[in-house]
Amino acid sequence: MQLQIDLSLPRPPSETTIVVAMSGGVDSSVAAARLVEAGYRVLGVMLKLWVDPFEDIAQARENRCCTFEAVSDAQRIAEQLDIPFRLIDVSQLFRKTVVDYFIQEYSSGRTPNPCLVCNRRVRFDYMLSYAQKEMGADFLATGHYARLRRTQAGVQLLRGADARKDQSYALSLIPQEKLRHLCFPVGEFTKPEVRALARRYGLQVAEKSESQDLCFTSDYRRFLGHWAAEAIHPGPILDIDGRELGRHRGLPFYTIGQRKGLGLSAPERLFVIELDAERNALIVGPAAALGRDRLQAADINWLIPPPDAPIRVTAKIRYKSADHPASIIPLSTTSAEVRFDAPLRDLTPGQAVVFYQGEQCLGGGVIESV
């Protein structure tokens, strides 16, 4: 396992200050340890995010961020590495930017991805700015499983070496001007190798369990039932011909492709085909009706010069989804039609579609319609 760290940064380690976003987990802890070992001037920072005050206490301990245990772990790692540590309260910014967006999107019949918004607006906007202005940072490092290739034309975002942990999808909406100030010290390793490094460094978090994506609640349906109750109304369940088959509890409780929990009795299996917010109707149909072969993407963040002609890519429509061959037909510098070679079952407005050519991430946008 290669231990020599090469981030291709413009100045030598002794002249470079890197702030590490610490979570108390193994990935960010190893990132910090590697940078210290390489001779960089390292400082640790942790964001105190908003957490649902109505969350069950036992479940909240399993919540991934901002618990007392997580902060204690991060502080202990910083002390062990002999680096300064700050805890920054961004709970109100997070609530306004991420949580309110999450509630609004679900209330509008869309399925949001709050982690992408958090990365773009909080972690790599506010936190990067804070690290630069308040802590004198040249770069911000995180424990993401992704890699960067610095070229004269800009920074290329590459998939992480561990295909099962690759997080380039979650970083695709970071603008190029922000990306050039980031580094990902564990992106060249697999998860088992990162745990082995943690044991080598003597970090007590080496065997710490994985985190989950949704950090501010452990049950989004219960969360929406409390925080968006006024926007959740029962309505009709319609088949694709418009016949009413039953009643739903509220559109935010359903997702495209869902089969279980519909409360319907039918001669064939039925799936959620569409959330029709205008009619407050849940549209269901057979599996064959799920397939869609094109979508329109908006708010596209290109990490390459925006194409002015169709290009071939592979595209991911979920963090854990496979790559699907597709063509991108530009509509503007920030919007495009994406045509897939074969129909897909899980194209969902509100989620992100991310574009690749080989190991390079070209950018991504939000699925506006299918």
Active-site annotation holds for 66: no
Cβ contact 248:282 at 8 Å: yes
Tokens coding 194: 């990162």
Q: List C-alpha distances in Å: 85 to 43, 70, 72, 110.
A: 6, 13, 11, 38
In this structure, which long-range contacts are made by residues 340-346, counting pairs with CB atoms below 8 Å and at least 24 apart in sequence?
Answer: 340/293, 340/294, 340/315, 341/293, 342/293, 343/291, 343/292, 343/293, 344/291, 344/292, 344/293, 344/317, 345/257, 345/287, 345/290, 345/291, 345/292, 346/256, 346/257, 346/290, 346/317, 346/318, 346/321
Q: How far apart are CA 238 and CA 251, in angstroms?
A: 13
Active-site annotation holds for 118: yes
Instruction: State whether residue 97 is helix, strand or coil.
Output: helix
**Candidate list 65, 66, 115, 118, residue with the active-site label:** 118
- DSSP 8-state assignment for residue 266: -
Tokens coding 75: 């502080």
- Alpha helices, DSSP H, located in the chain: 26-38, 57-62, 68-81, 91-94, 100-107, 114-117, 127-135, 168-171, 176-179, 191-201, 220-227
**Candidate list 66, 115, 215, 361, residue with the active-site label:** 215
Cβ contact 16:139 at 8 Å: yes
Which residues form the catalytic set? Answer: 118, 215
